[in-house]
Chains A and B, each alone.
Chain A
Amino acid sequence: MNEQIQRVIDNIEKVIVGKREVAELSIVALLARGHILLEDVPGVGKTMMVRALAKSFDAQFKRIQFTPDLLPSDVVGISMYNPKTMEFEFRAGPIMGNVILADEINRTSPKTQSALLEGMEESSVTIDGHTFAIQQPFFVMATQNPIEHEGTYPLPEAQLDRFLMKIKMGYPSRKEEMEILRRAETGRPIEQLEAVLTLTQLIELQELIQGVYVEDSVKSYIVELATQTRENSYVHLGVSPRATLSLMKAAQAYAFIKGRNYVTPDDVQYLARFVFSHRVLLKPEARYEQIRAEEIIERIIAKTPVPTKRFAER
Chain B
Amino acid sequence: MKKSLTNLGELTFAYIIIFFILREWLTPVMELTNTGMLHLFLVFIGLALVLSLLQIHPLLSGTIKIVYITWFVVFSYSKYPFLSRETIPYLANEWKLNMLAITSGNFGQVTDSFRTILFLALIWMLIYLIHHWVAVRKNIFYFLALTVFFIATLDTFSDYDGKVAIIKVLILGLILTGVLTIERLWIQSDQPVDVAKKWLITLPMIISILFVSVVAFSLPKTGPTWADPVPFIKNVTGYGNGGSGSRTVGYGEDDSQLGGPFQGDDTLVFTAKSQDRHYWRIDTKDTYTSKGWVKSKGTFEQLVYNENMRIPSSLPIGPSDQVRQTEIEMAMPMPFLLQTYGMISVATGDDAIFIQDTHNEKITVQQLDGKAKLLEKYQLTYSKPVYKDEELQLSNPAMLETLSSDFERFLQLPETVPQRVKDLAIRITQNQSSVYEQIKAIERYFTMNSFIYDKNEVAIPAEDEDYVDQFLFETKMGYCDNFSTSMIVLLRSVGIPARWVKGFASGEEGATVNDVKEYHVTNNNAHSWVEAYIPGTGWMEFEPTIGFTSNVNIDYDFTNETPQQEQPVKPEEQPKEQPEKQLEEEKEEHSPKNAIVAGVGFVEIWKWLKYVLIVLSIVLLFTGITLFVKRKTWLPKMHIHVYRRKEADWTNFDASYQVLVKQLARIGLRRKDGETLRVFAERVDAALETDEMSTLTAVYEQYIYGNSTQTSDFIKLKEIWENLINRTIG
Contacts and interface: CB of A to CB of B under 8 A. Distances in A.
Interface of A: 213, 215, 217-218, 260-266, 269, 301-311
Contacts of B703: 310
A215 B705 CA distance: 5
Contacts of A266: 676, 678-679
Contacts of A302: 672-674
A256 B338 CA distance: 109
Q: Which 10 A-B pairs give the minimum distances between C-beta atoms?
A: A262-B706, A302-B674, A213-B707, A310-B704, A305-B673, A266-B676, A265-B676, A215-B705, A262-B705, A264-B705
Interface in B670-687: 671-679
A270 to B, nearest CB: 9
B652 to A, nearest CB: 13
Contacts of B701: 264
Contacts of A269: 674, 676
22 contacts: A213-B706, A215-B705, A217-B704, A218-B705, A260-B706, A262-B707, A262-B708, A264-B676, A264-B701, A265-B676, A266-B679, A269-B676, A302-B673, A302-B674, A303-B673, A304-B674, A305-B673, A306-B673, A308-B661, A309-B704, A310-B703, A310-B704
B674 A301 contact: yes
A269 B678 CA distance: 12
Contacts of A309: 658, 704
A140 B415 CA distance: 110
A86 B701 CA distance: 65
A217 B705 contact: yes
B677 A308 contact: yes
B702 interface: yes
Contacts of A301: 674
Contact of B706 (A215, A305, A306): A215
Nearest to A308: B677
Contact of A303 (B654, B674, B705, B708): B674
A264 B674 contact: no
Interface string B647-680: 0000000100010010000000001111111110
Interface string B704-725: 1111100000000000000000
A199 B716 CA distance: 43
A8 B724 CA distance: 39
A306 B702 CA distance: 15
A195 to B, nearest CB: 33
Contact of B705 (A263, A304, A305): A263
Interface in B173-231: none
A214 to B, nearest CB: 8
Given A217-B704, A262-B706, 12 more contacts: A215-B705, A261-B706, A263-B705, A264-B701, A265-B677, A265-B705, A304-B674, A305-B673, A306-B675, A308-B704, A309-B658, A309-B704
B601 to A, nearest CB: 59
Contacts of A260: 706
Contact of A308 (B671, B702, B706, B708): B671
Interface string B679-701: 10000000000000000000001
A311 B672 CA distance: 19
B706 A304 contact: no
Interface residues of B, number: 20
A306 B674 contact: yes
Contacts of B705: 213, 215, 217-218, 262-265
Interface string B532-572: 00000000000000000000000000000000000000000
B708 to A, nearest CB: 7
Contacts of B672: 302
A123 B611 CA distance: 87
A20 B62 CA distance: 66
Question: Looking at A217, A263, A265, A269, which has the most chain B CB atoms within 10 Å of its CB?
Answer: A265
A217 B701 CA distance: 12
Contacts of A217: 704-705
Contacts of B654: 310
A304 B679 contact: no
Contacts of A308: 661, 671, 677, 704
B674 A305 contact: yes
A263 B702 CA distance: 9
Interface in B615-659: 654, 658
Given A262-B702, A308-B677, A215 B671 contact: no
Nearest to A309: B704
B678 A264 contact: yes
A307 B676 CA distance: 8
B707 A215 contact: yes
Contacts of B704: 215, 217, 307-311
B572 to A, nearest CB: 98
A304 B673 contact: yes
A227 to B, nearest CB: 15
A269 to B, nearest CB: 6
A218 B675 CA distance: 14
B655 to A, nearest CB: 11
Contacts of B679: 266
A260 B706 CA distance: 9
Contacts of B708: 261-262
A164 to B, nearest CB: 22
B165 to A, nearest CB: 51
A251 to B, nearest CB: 11
Contacts of B702: 262
Nearest to B706: A262
Contacts of B675: 306
Interface string B261-284: 000000000000000000000000
Interface in B61-102: none
Nearest to B661: A308
Nearest to B677: A308
B251 to A, nearest CB: 78
Nearest to A311: B704
A263 B704 CA distance: 10
Contacts of A265: 676-677, 705
Nearest to A269: B676
A303 B706 CA distance: 24
Nearest to A302: B674
Contacts of B673: 302-306
Among A218, A260, A308, A311: residue with most chain B CB under 10 A: A308
A260 B708 CA distance: 11
Contacts of B661: 308
Contacts of A261: 706, 708
Contacts of A305: 673-674
A67 B557 CA distance: 142
A306 B677 contact: yes
Contacts of A310: 654, 703-704
Contacts of B678: 264, 266
Contacts of A213: 705-707
Nearest to A304: B674
A127 B675 CA distance: 50
Contacts of A263: 705
A309 B653 CA distance: 12
B672 to A, nearest CB: 7
